[in-house]
């Protein structure tokens, strides 16, 4: 016996007392009988609830005198009580049938511990992939998620260090192990995953690079000149990019050669040469990019309109800067060419700027949706890290519309979206409201708690109170992926996910000191 029910204001929320505080997130149960006057029978019911709030007070109010004149030796201390709030998860009717709560718990009902058998009855999971253990893990109740329900999409939200990337690694690894193709758009370059089965070939990591010949000219012009007010400059650049692309395509088709060979052929015709010493220091791909850049600049320099002459110099400067600081490839295939069943494709966008990441993701999302609609690829799971970068309420960028369209239309064709965010308060509710599965890890900011309550319509305020006290790696899981009832889950630790964890500073410093290695080398 842990305590008693004092008051029930609804079937979902009851208030009880105990002699000592119970930890938030603790599962408890209560049994009682209900007189069903409609059917004229008495029904035995048992509820499963979770402690969502707790306090600790004197059972009898103490006066100020009590504290000014401490108890004499041997005098009994004043009794204390812990008032608590219980959020009722489910009712078990007649021992076997699990239902949402329908009756308020009667006052004076005894509160006791929830047994493993009771929890297994509510959270039975005959199929699916394992996510972790129901909290506390000592009860031995395994929690699985249903991959089929990922078409309703998933939001993973939590503060820094709460376990978001570990959760992504667990889900991505285990659903890919049963055949799912998974795309992870990795903003920080932290997904160096070794699968749990040890088969490293199941993870393909590609660097997000921009291929000017494979990117739509209008988008490439927007990436090079992103300033909203530079419309005329963008139009000039767009036409030059389009002309170069069409010329290279014609050369390739007429001679039956590859695009890279066509670029070299046209560069030779135009007398475009790279400094011999510089060319020796470049890879073939880098040298090819330099020749493409030179052809593009030649095309810009050939503009005869006097009105545009002054703009051309500025455009050329921006083209030069773009090719200098941006990861460019003329040879590598687009990332989605590496997508396969049963594999995790990690697109490392850590070397791109935020604006370049948005355009790169838009291209990937649009291509995925197009391939899904044409049935040229099987159902796929797309993971988007750092969601505020792409789905912020303040952002006005085509990537947001692409993600919204993918979430809305993609589910009909097997497109599953997993959105990961540490600042849910900044997400556009109109977009993320289409996500119907949730894993909420620890969040302490009140604005974030309110935001996830707005996003998840069925997240009750009493249940949301648990979120700030969740330890690392424990999540509140809700939605059809887990069934009818929310669960507090200790998510498995993915041992093959190394990057992303905080570095062990003292070990690193001690290692350097023991080896007497210089930390800084001025030269």
Q: What is the per-residue pLDDT across 321-330, written as a single tens digit (0 to 9) for each?
A: 999 988 999 9
CA-atom Rg of the chain in angstroms: 30
Residue-wise pLDDT for 109-130, tens only, equals 999 999 888 999 999 767 799 9
Which two tokens mark 134? 């129901």
Which helix (H) or strand (E) segment holds residue 294: the answer is helix 284-301
Q: Which of 20, 23, 24 lies closest to 80 in space, CA to CA? A: 20
Domain residue ranges of the chain, discontinuous segments joined by +: 3-122, 139-209+334-508, 217-325
At residue 441, φ and ψ (nearest 5 deg) are -95, -175
Place of tokens 């010329």: 247
Q: Which of these, 379, 383, 384, lies nearest to 342 by C-alpha position? A: 379
In Å, how far are 31, 140, 345 from 1, measured between CA atoms? 12, 21, 51
Residue of 203, 170, 159 lying closest to 495 (CA atoms):
170
Tens of pLDDT, residue by residue over 454-471, are 999 889 999 999 999 999
The tokens of 316 are what? 């050329």
Q: Strands 182-186 and 154-157: what pairing? A: unpaired
- pLDDT band of 74, cuts 50, 70, 90: very low
pTM, whole model, 2 decimals? 0.87
What is the average per-residue pLDDT within 302-326? 85
Residue 142: how many other CB atoms lie within 10 Å:
15
Phi, psi (rounded to 5 degrees) for 386: 50, 55
d(CA 175, CA 335): 20
The answer to whether the beta carbons of residues 8 and 83 sit under 8 Å apart is no
Phi, psi of 396, deg, nearest 5? -120, 85
The helix, strand and coil proportions of the chain, stated in percent and rounded to the nearest 5, come to 40, 25, 40
Q: Is the pLDDT of residue 60 over 60?
A: yes
386-410 pLDDT tens trace: 999 999 999 989 999 999 999 999 9
Residue 2: alpha-carbon gap to chain centroid: 38
Q: Which two tokens stand for residue 407?
A: 């979430």
State yes or no: pLDDT of 66 exceeds 70: no
* CATH T-level topology, domain 139-209+334-508: Rossmann fold (3.40.50)
Tokens describing residue 215: 């990117």
């Amino acid at each position: 016996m842990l305590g008693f029910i004092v008051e029930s204001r609804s079937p979902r929320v009851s208030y009880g007392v105990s002699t000592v505080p119970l930890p938030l997130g603790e599962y408890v149960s209560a049994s009682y009988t209900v007189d069903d006057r409609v059917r004229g029978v008495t029904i035995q019911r048992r509820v499963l609830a979770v402690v969502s709030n707790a306090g600790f007070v004197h059972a009898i109010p103490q006066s100020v005198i009590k504290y000014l004149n401490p108890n004499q030796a041997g005098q009994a201390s004043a009794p204390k009580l812990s008032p608590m709030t219980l959020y009722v998860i489910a009712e078990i009717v007649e021992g076997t049938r699990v239902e949402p709560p329908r009756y308020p718990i009667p006052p004076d009902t005894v509160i006791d511990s929830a047994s493993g058998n009771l929890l297994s009855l509510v959270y039975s999971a005959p199929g699916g992939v394992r996510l972790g253990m129901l909290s506390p893990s000592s009860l031995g109740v395994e929690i699985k998620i249903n991959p089929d329900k990922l078409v309703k999409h998933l939001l993973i939200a939590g503060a820094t260090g709460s376990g978001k990337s570990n959760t992504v690694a667990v889900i991505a690894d285990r659903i890919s192990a049963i055949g799912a193709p998974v795309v992870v758009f990795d903003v920080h370059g932290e997904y160096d995953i070794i699968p749990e089965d040890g088969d490293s070939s199941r993870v393909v990591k590609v660097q997000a690079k921009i291929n000017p010949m494979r990117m739509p000219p209008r988008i490439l012009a927007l990436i090079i000149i992103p300033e909203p007010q530079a419309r005329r400059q963008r139009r000039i650049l767009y036409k030059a990019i389009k002309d170069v692309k069409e010329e290279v395509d014609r050369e390739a088709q007429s001679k039956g050669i590859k695009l890279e060979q066509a670029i070299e052929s046209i560069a030779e015709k135009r007398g475009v040469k790279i400094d011999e010493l510089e060319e020796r220091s470049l890879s073939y791909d880098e040298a090819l990019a330099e020749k493409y850049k030179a052809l593009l600049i030649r095309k810009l320099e050939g503009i005869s309109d006097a009105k545009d002459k002054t703009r051309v110099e500025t455009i050329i400067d921006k083209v030069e800067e773009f090719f200098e600081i941006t990861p460019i490839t003329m040879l590598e295939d687009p990332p989605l060419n590496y997508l396969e069943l049963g594999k995790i494709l990690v697109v490392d966008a850590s070397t791109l700027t935020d604006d370049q990441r948005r355009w790169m993701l838009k291209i990937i999302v649009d291509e995925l949706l197009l391939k899904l609609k044409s049935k040229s690829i099987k159902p796929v799971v797309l993971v988007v890290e750092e969601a505020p970068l792409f789905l912020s309420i303040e952002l006005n960028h085509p990537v947001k519309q692409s993600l919204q369209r993918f979430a809305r239309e993609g589910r009909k064709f097997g497109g599953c979206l997993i959105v990961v965010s540490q600042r849910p308060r900044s997400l556009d509710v109109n977009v993320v409201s289409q996500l119907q599965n949730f894993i909420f890890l620890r969040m302490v900011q009140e604005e974030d708690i309110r935001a996830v309550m707005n996003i998840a319509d069925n997240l009750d305020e009493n249940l949301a109170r648990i979120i700030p006290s969740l330890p690392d790696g424990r999540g509140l899981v809700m939605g059809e992926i887990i069934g009818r009832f929310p669960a507090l889950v200790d998510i498995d630790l993915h041992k093959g996910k190394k990057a992303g964890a905080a570095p062990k500073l003292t070990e690193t410093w001690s290692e350097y000191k023991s080896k007497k290695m210089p930390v800084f080398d001025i030269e």
